[in-house]
Structure 1
Amino acid sequence: MTGLDVESDVDRLYQLPLAEFTAARNELAKRVGGTKGAEIRALRRPPVAAWAVNQLYWRHRGAYDTLVAAAGRLREAQEAALGGGRADLREADRAYDAAVKAAFDGALAPLAESGHPASGATREAVMRTLRALPAPGRPGRLQEELSPGGFEALAGIPLGARQPPLRQPTPPASTPEGRPARRQPPGTRDEPTGRPPTEHRREEIFEATRALREAERGVRSAETAAAAAANDLSRREAEEAHAAEALAEARSRTADARHKVADARAEARRAATALERARSHLDRLRTR
């Protein structure tokens, strides 16, 4: 079996229903054997949220690619804004959120199709994983849920890249007589701040934009959780109503059965009385 064939077989593992993953993985590892077989056997069964995102890649590639591209454009816009360039950060952010929403719907579809609607916790894990894309490694092979990183992952650049070098302090000037100039009291001259005012202002704007985006995402996450809870409540109420109807129907059938039993017993008593009368009449006829 060539290396390409093995990789294709591994790709197929991640496209299987989740319940079939372990058995198929072990069978493939045994068939391949050797070092590669051991590597395959070490592959972990993805949790539900990671499996759903993998299915997004395999079944809805367009939504997956759109999300990854939107994430890249958002990082570029953030870097441009951070560097003082012109960038439509808000438009990039809106496009990214729209891509996340489409990818989220696409990732939940396989769960519904498999008969396992996503719980609120699973929906949140899927959303976190989508926002952490793209992930290292081959796409479509996630073995664990992901979480977006901190500020570095959000901006796509390290924090240190935003820090300009400290300006060297200017040595004190000398008087014409060669004596050091009298030191001015603090606040009477411009002191080095460690970064240009424009850079500091850009950082303030960037941090405020980041805080706004996080707050908006928090609202959307809460709304998603509330919608999931409402759907779960509606489902449970429907199940309860159905159970109540079934119970009422069962009680009605039980009552009907009891009536039939009572009628049958009454009929049996009447038949027994008629039989006894017939026997008595026959006995009287025989004794004449």
Structure 2
Amino acid sequence: MTGAARSDDDALVDEAAADLLALPPARFTAARAERAAAAAGPVGRRIAKLRKPTVAAWAVNLLVRDGRLGEAVELSRALQEAQDDLDAAELARLGKQRRQLVAALARRAGELAAEAGTPLSAAMAESVEKTVNAAVVDPEVAAAVLTGRLVSPIDLATLDAGGLGDAVAGSVPQGVAASPPRDDLAARRARKAAERAVREAERAHADAARESAAADRRLATARERADRARERVEGLRADLARAEADAADADAVVGQRESEQKEAAAAARVAQRAVERAEAARAEGTDA
């Protein structure tokens, strides 16, 4: 939603405020006087009444000019859709993403302030982070912050009705300008369900691809082990064949040696009987 159309004077004051509030606070007062004098008339008088920003608000204005807050606004819209859809998983994911983004944007604001010659204290940095967080979770605050015309930081915990008017110099927008129309809830849920199905299918495909690769590795390992086992079997078979041949040769030698031993034993017996006969004959001759 947008507010009423601005007048030409409002546009001039808003432009001057955006330029002045991006200057280091120490230069604000003198620059405001110069701008008011140059504008003159009603616009000049309104410019002269612009309030000097706090250092934290000025740092947020630098962040807006740096172009980093657009991501925060997009995340804000996504959070609102997740809340409408009662999508707990998406809310948890976006909540984590929001905290990371807010912290990163706050750090960037601190870097920009330091580069401009005015480092932020811990308290100022905390105010910047609260303001960025408020812009993420509240579209009205986002619209105010994105003007780049903050004069004071915004804390949702202490923001009163109409409080944005006190925090913004010049006109206060109502809602984020140029916001696209919200999708029909049923259509959005169907789209999210389709997106989840795609994500789940992609995860399943990735899991299957990993398992296939692991199976390929296991198969290659098994094949390598089988090849080594076959090589060992073939080696053992060759060894067995050689051992069997050696055993056959040894058996043949044993047979031959057994025959030789039998022949030698028979010859020994024959010789023994000859000896016995000879001794008997000698004995008979002696007795005669």
TM-score bin, normalised by smaller chain: 0.3 to 0.5
Rg: which structure is higher? 2
Between Structure 1 and Structure 2, which shows a larger proportion of helix residues? 2
TM-score for the superposition, normalised by structure 2: 0.45
Report the TM-score when normalising by structure 1. Answer: 0.45
